[in-house]
Amino acid sequence: MNIFKAINNGITLVIKNYKMALIVYLVNIVLAILIAIPIYSTLKDNIADRGVRDALEQNFDYEWWSSFNFQAEGLKKTIRPALSSGFAPLFDNFELFLTGKFTSFGMVIFFWGLAMVFISAFFNGGVIGLYADEKLTFSVSRFFSLSGFYFHHFFALALTMLLVVFIFYKTLHRLILNLADQITAGAAGNSWLFHFLAYLLLLLIIFFIKIIFDYAKIILVLENQKSSWLCIWLATKFVVRHLLKTFGLYLLLSVIGLSIVLCFGFLLDVLNASSLFILLTVILLQQLFIFIKIGLRFCFYASQLELYRQRSVEVVTGKIRRKVK
């Protein structure tokens, strides 16, 4: 099993089937507009009332935001200083994963995020289904047909993963952080190191859960399994037996993804939307970033699928050799 070969084949699969990423991107745009329109309407009225439009065009006005956030409810609570920076959303996401405070953005966005999980479950069936097809014949109707065909399985996996994540944050997450606090209670000088290790362990556990459920989806499609929960068990055995390969692949792709996020974050921080041209450039860069993120997510599935295929080939080859002997 070669993770670099898996990534190379995975990227090739994604590029050959780029239209799937385009479809998901367009769906994301439509869903984003449903939130963007009421937020735009709110901001337009609020900024006009306070006469800070010119100031906000140059930089984020924290004084205005403090006053706005004090009275904000619902979607208004989602407007945060982090939105004005290229890097801050990355740290916001890390904070969410490490603390588990998913409702800190407000209940509207929390439930919207849950809805996106199940929308992704629908499309993931079509994505993995087409990647698993050796003919690689893409068509829009076939993509949606496979998405619908696997949806009930992928919906069950999404629900199960949410339950596992919920249990993790309510039990093991608290236990690890409390243990770190107890260890560092009398050692203030090295407290940062123990808390860093605790958060690193939490992140690895989150990765482990995500990897298992990724391979559960892949096994369900490749092995034509009928039970979603059996696939979770099979995926757990596969990941544990090939821990270095599966984790190595996931971490390498994560580093690639982090590098892309940092590059786009740097560009967005450098570009100051002081003119219409630069503002349009920033918008185009943001849309390109979203499209690349979708493609990267598909690269995870395609590369993991290729790694699992390598394992299947090795198993079959080993059986043939034993028969020959």
pLDDT, residue 301, reads 92
**pLDDT number for residue 48:** 58
pLDDT attached to residue 189: 58
The whole-number pLDDT of residue 223 equals 87
**CA-CA distance, 204 to 243, in Å (whole number)?**
12
Q: Are 103 and 285 in contact (CB under 8 A)?
A: no
Which element (helix H / strand E) includes 295?
helix 276-324
pLDDT score recorded for residue 239: 93
Number of Cβ within 10 Å of residue 240's Cβ equals: 11
CA distance 177 to 180: 5
Copy the structure tokens of residue 211: 């990897």
pTM of the entire predicted model: 0.80
Nearest Cα to Cα of residue 132 among 241, 245, 217: 217
Report residue 133: phi and psi, to 5°.
Answer: -75, 120
Q: Which residue range(s) make up the domain with 286?
A: 3-324
Q: Which of 120, 216, 209 is nearest to 172 (CA)?
A: 209
Task: Answer positive or negative: Cα dihedral of 67, 70, 72, 78.
Answer: positive
Question: How many domains is the chain built from?
Answer: 1
pLDDT value of position 68: 64
Give the pLDDT means over successive 10-residue stretches in the chain (325 positions): 86 88 89 77 64 58 64 64 59 70 68 82 90 78 89 91 89 84 67 79 90 93 87 92 91 89 77 67 82 90 90 52 47
pLDDT at 200: 87
Nearest by Cα to 232 from 324, 318, 159: 159
Give pLDDT, residue 236. 93
